[in-house]
């Protein structure tokens, strides 16, 4: 399933899911020249399409790239309009996400929902440090409200564990999460939800953003409590921070798409 959700464009500059390696690959691969002047959106029978010089953009699978709202189509149009002399897909996270949704997620949404549910069964928020006290407190402050939301809104009471030893979650909790995910039928919304899950390592954080319980910035900070703690103690790694910045751009793009749907 992960292979299905990787970038679907056959071009080499979209072949690697890791943003830093993808950027490095792009340094060796000649990016295509911008071939259009005008970017616009227009209503079509499939929804609202993005047009380049009056011609509709198509996905790598040759489907018309159409979205359900003008605002959502506008996000993709803005990315095309922002391109310079070359078209750099790594700077177009919404466009890549929409391609994935149309060509990939739409063909097998059940597998995508199941993958999100698997994250929930070993969710980041359920695995806590036993020391030092400062990290324990920081995790509780950032994560406990989301677990309370899951119990209140979803009916999913999840168990906590210390360290990395796996804890089996209650069957009823997993059923409740599955029922919540089953209501997510739109491939675009589901693709964004899945991307946020994989970027944060937490289905609960992604579902809370999708439900409007928290914003994407709050979710991103919560997903990096441990990493930020370690950076405060030992300093930041520049390469790791660059990877994190690229991942955050994809996270914010997914959240923006959900808002625009």
CA dist., res. 206 & res. 107, Å (int): 22
Structure token digits, residue 123: 């969710």
Relative to beta strand 66-67, strand 127-128 is unpaired
Predicted TM-score of the model (pTM): 0.89
Q: Residue 35, exposed/middle/buried by CB under 10 A (0-12, 13-18, 19+)? A: exposed
Structure token digits, residue 2: 């992960």
User: Do 229 and 138 form a contact (C-beta atoms < 8 A)?
Assistant: yes
Residue scoring higher pLDDT (185 or 24): 185
Average pLDDT, the chain: 91
Tens of pLDDT, residue by residue over 168-189, are 999 999 999 999 999 999 999 9
Task: Report pLDDT for 12.
Answer: 43
Residue 252 in this model has a pLDDT that exceeds 70? yes
Q: Would you identify the CATH topology of the domain 108-260?
A: ATP12-like fold (1.10.3580)
CA distances to 22, 37, 86 from 32, in Å: 15, 14, 6
Tens of pLDDT, residue by residue over 180-227, are 999 999 999 999 999 999 999 999 999 999 999 999 999 999 999 999
């Amino acid at each position: 399933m992960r292979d299905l959700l990787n970038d679907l464009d056959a071009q080499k500059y979209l072949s690697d899911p890791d943003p830093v390696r993808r950027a490095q690959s792009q340094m060796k691969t000649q990016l295509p020249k911008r071939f259009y002047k005008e970017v616009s959106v227009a209503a079509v029978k499939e929804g609202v399409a993005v047009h380049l010089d009056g011609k509709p953009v198509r996905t790598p699978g040759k489907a018309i790239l159409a979205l359900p709202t003008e605002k959502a189509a506008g996000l993709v149009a803005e990315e095309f309009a922002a391109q310079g002399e070359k078209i750099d897909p790594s700077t177009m996270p919404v466009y890549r996400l929409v391609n994935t949704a149309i060509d990939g997620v739409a063909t097998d949404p059940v597998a995508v929902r199941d993958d999100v549910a698997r994250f929930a069964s070993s969710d980041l928020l359920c695995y806590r440090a036993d020391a030092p006290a400062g990290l324990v407190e920081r995790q509780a402050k950032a994560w406990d409200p989301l677990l309370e939301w899951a119990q209140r809104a979803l009916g999913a009471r999840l168990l906590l564990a210390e360290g990395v030893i796996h804890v089996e979650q209650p069957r009823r909790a997993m059923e409740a999460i599955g029922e919540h995910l089953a209501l997510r039928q739109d491939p675009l919304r589901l693709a964004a939800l899945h991307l946020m899950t994989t970027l944060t390592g937490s289905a609960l954080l992604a579902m809370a953003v999708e439900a409007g319980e928290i914003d994407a910035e709050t979710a991103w900070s919560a997903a990096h409590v441990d990493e930020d703690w370690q950076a405060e103690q030992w300093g930041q790694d520049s390469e790791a921070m660059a990877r994190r910045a690229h991942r955050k751009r994809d996270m914010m793009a997914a959240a923006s798409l959900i808002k625009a749907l």
